[in-house]
Amino acid sequence: MTTRTLLALTLLIFFCAIAFAQPGANEMPSVIQVPAEAQPSSHFDATAATNAYLAQIPPDKTARSDAYFEGSYWLILWDFLYGAVIALVLLNLRWSARMRDLAERITRFKPVHTFVYWTQYLVLTSILGFPLAVYEGYFREHKYGLATQTFGAWMVDQLKGLAIGIVLGGILVTLLFAIVRRFPRTWHLWGAVATTGFLIFGALIAPVYIVPIFNKVTPLNDPKVVDPILSLARANGIPAKNVYTMDASKQSTRMSANVSGFATTMRITLNDNLLRRGSPEEIQSVMGHEMGHYVLNHIYKGVMFYFIVIVAFFAGLRWALDWTLQRWGEKWQIRSLTDTAVLPLALLMVSIFGFVFTPIDNTFTRSQEYEADMYGLNTSRQPDGFAQAAIHLGEYRKMSPSPVEEWIFFDHPSGHNRIYAAMRWKAENMKLFTGQP
């Protein structure tokens, strides 16, 4: 593709984007009333209260968020297939071998050679993957009223992401190729250890060094918001001194919060959409949930879980690469496992594994989220705030999926199940609300 065609295409996409943009069209009101059925009473019924909350969402909004979320099921498949086709093109047309030859002409010094190959690979696959990426990350988000960015700003974020991918991905890939060269028999074990170590390093630096590349993170000063959160933190033995906020509204209307980092980089962050649209009860219930992740050591349990998964994956990768290279290695002009031209094949294996692994991955995460929900209800004692949060999050998730759908596709409990859990908690703690034993 020439530069001029690329420019023309970009301009065309830009003008279409303006026509599509309708920021905030999907927003639910900030203050959601506690429905009559969910008010404290002697005849309180958790199911009736749940249904009354769900009935607050207008049917057209439900149809819209269902369509958005169900579309994402298909995107998992299209992303996988599209990526697989790109990998097969790179291998069969021997573009990967040519990128290796070019990197060799530049340098034969192995680490730099690997880095040069990786840069070419990532730039080329980003260009080939652009049509699907722009649909998924830009047009589709605008169509459902979830995005707030202009095309130019979105594109800048993509380029920043590409640059970070070149640097961080380049470090990991260079490290892994060095391991394959150094330990021809046991590389899969050391590769798994190095990958896990690298993921921990990434999680450690992300809140402090990566997030600020895209968004402005500032300490939150408003005592009305901060004091109850820090009080909740102290009560739960969490050493947080500051609560941070970030301008997520720059990109999207989504509300969210998180606990990120390890040890000294650990921090609580609320995004500005939650601050702007959430009631105090809602914010406290979300913070209780986030503190649950911290107190229940979800980060460390996650590291252990993914370490086991990565070890299993690398063992499979070793076997699969040997098998494929024996058959097609010559045709693809890949000399051996230490040849950088093997990379698209290895990453194709990663995506096949990731695709098959989706339901297990989601179920692991969803189980932790459910634990954090229970912890959050117990510590914040804000079941109605939590129900409101579930409705807000329902702007981009399906509220009432089937159990099988939830098992395969949901990385959080569904909105219906979250509201029901809150109302069940309220029913069992009715004395807190009625003042009667």
The minimum distance between CB 244 and Zn ion, in angstroms, equals: 17
The minimum distance between CB 248 and Zn ion, in angstroms, equals: 16
Strand partners for 299: none
Residue 297 CB neighbours (<10 A): 12
The minimum distance between CB 293 and Zn ion, in angstroms, equals: 6
Both tokens assigned to 7: 């420019």
What 3-state class would DSSP assign to 397? coil
Q: Which stretch binds Zn ion (CB under 5 A): 165-173, 210-218, 242-250, 370-378?
A: 370-378
Q: Which is nearer to Zn ion, 79 or 369 (CB)?
A: 369
Q: Which stretch binds Zn ion (CB under 5 A): 151-159, 210-218, 221-229, 372-380?
A: 372-380
Q: Which is nearer to Zn ion, 149 or 284 (CB)?
A: 284
Q: Which amino acid is at 101?
A: D
Q: Which is nearer to Zn ion, 337 or 372 (CB)?
A: 372
CB 93 within 8 A of CB 140: no
Q: Which is nearer to Zn ion, 236 or 333 (CB)?
A: 236
The minimum distance between CB 271 and Zn ion, in angstroms, equals: 13
CB 132 within 8 A of CB 82: yes
Angstrom CA distances, 149 to 21, 51, 173, 251, stand at: 9, 35, 32, 5
CA-CA-CA-CA torsion sign (30, 33, 39, 44) = negative
Which residue intervals of 130-264 are DSSP H helices? 130-134, 140-143, 151-164, 170-182, 187-205, 211-214, 223-235
Q: Which is nearer to Zn ion, 95 or 396 (CB)?
A: 396
The minimum distance between CB 367 and Zn ion, in angstroms, equals: 11
- Rounded to a whole number, what is the distance in angstroms from the first to the last CA of the chain? 74
The minimum distance between CB 225 and Zn ion, in angstroms, equals: 19
Q: Which is nearer to Zn ion, 275 or 317 (CB)?
A: 275
The minimum distance between CB 197 and Zn ion, in angstroms, equals: 25
Residue 377 phi, psi (nearest 5): -65, -45
Distance (Å, rounded) from C-alpha 261 to C-alpha 268? 9
Q: Which stretch binds Zn ion (CB under 5 A): 99-107, 171-179, 331-339, 366-374?
A: 366-374
The minimum distance between CB 372 and Zn ion, in angstroms, equals: 5
Q: Which stretch binds Zn ion (CB under 5 A): 50-58, 61-69, 222-230, 371-379?
A: 371-379
Taking CB under 5 A as the rule, which mask of x and - marks residues 314-353 in contact with Zn ion? ----------------------------------------
Question: How many chain residues touch Zn ion (CB under 5 A)?
Answer: 2
Q: Which is nearer to Zn ion, 344 or 385 (CB)?
A: 385
Q: 55-62 contacts: CB < 8 A, separation 24 or more? A: 56/32, 56/391, 57/28, 57/391, 57/394, 57/399, 61/26, 61/28, 61/395, 62/394, 62/399
Q: Which is nearer to Zn ion, 259 or 399 (CB)?
A: 259
Per CB under 5 A, residues contacting Zn ion are 369, 372
